[in-house]
């Protein structure tokens, strides 16, 4: 148990360090100078990008694919829940039994949603054409991570496998597609700056 815990801790440290390196690398990249005149408030654009601009009805891609959007939301809730479970595992004995039952169902549903996403990448023509080996591996690895964490909350024999899979997942975060958890923030800031500067987002009153 101790060895698996140390392995998970080492994986977490390695993953965080890798994300830090990705962050510094991205921060030092030179962006093209925006020559357009400032017509709006850039900070308002960034605020919109992280609030109303993230609502499903604000984006056509999610507005017309609501089921896929909800599947992704449930899957990501499961990922963050599993990470939290791994971190607080030493304190599980202080939690009431009902919490474990709730966590099991959250993670169970999230695992099913993750597997559904993995199958969609195999059987759906457009997704299959767009998916690289890294896409498939990332989905199935995180689905396995969620699954093992869900089993661990109801069966102690899965705690050690949970730590081992956690270590692999944490190490892989900065190496593969999962690193989009970092690039997401850069993308939303760029989006807010670009359209906020042009007074496009938030929508001006005249457009509304």
* Domain boundaries defined on the chain: 72-196
Question: What's the mean pLDDT in 50-58?
Answer: 83
Question: What's the mean pLDDT in 88-102?
Answer: 87
In this prediction the pTM is 0.83
Question: Is residue 129 predicted with pLDDT exceeding 70?
Answer: yes
Residue among 110, 123, 111 nearest 77 (CA): 110
CA–CA dist 130, 110 (Å, integer): 23
The count of residues in the chain is 208
CA–CA dist 194, 143 (Å, integer): 35
pLDDT in tens, 149-190: 999 999 989 999 999 999 999 999 999 888 888 888 888 888
């Amino acid at each position: 148990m101790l060895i698996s815990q140390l392995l998970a801790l080492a994986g977490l440290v390695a993953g965080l360090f890798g994300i830090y390196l990705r962050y510094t690398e991205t921060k030092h990249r030179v962006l093209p100078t925006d020559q357009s005149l400032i017509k709006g408030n850039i900070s308002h654009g960034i605020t919109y990008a992280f609030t109303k601009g993230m609502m499903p009805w604000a984006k056509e891609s999610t507005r017309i694919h609501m089921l896929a959007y909800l599947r992704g939301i449930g899957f990501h809730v499961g990922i963050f829940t599993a990470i939290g479970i791994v971190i607080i595992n030493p304190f599980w004995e202080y939690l009431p039994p009902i919490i474990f039952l709730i966590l099991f169902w959250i993670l169970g549903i999230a695992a099913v949603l993750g597997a559904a996403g993995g199958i969609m990448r195999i059987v759906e023509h457009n997704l299959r054409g767009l998916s690289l080996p890294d896409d498939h591996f990332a989905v199935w690895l995180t689905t396995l991570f969620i699954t093992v964490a869900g089993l661990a909350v109801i069966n102690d024999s899965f705690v050690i496998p949970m730590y081992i899979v956690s270590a692999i997942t944490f190490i892989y975060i900065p190496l593969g597609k999962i690193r989009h958890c970092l690039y997401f923030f850069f993308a939303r800031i760029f989006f807010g700056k670009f359209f906020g500067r042009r007074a496009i987002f938030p929508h001006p009153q005249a457009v509304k």
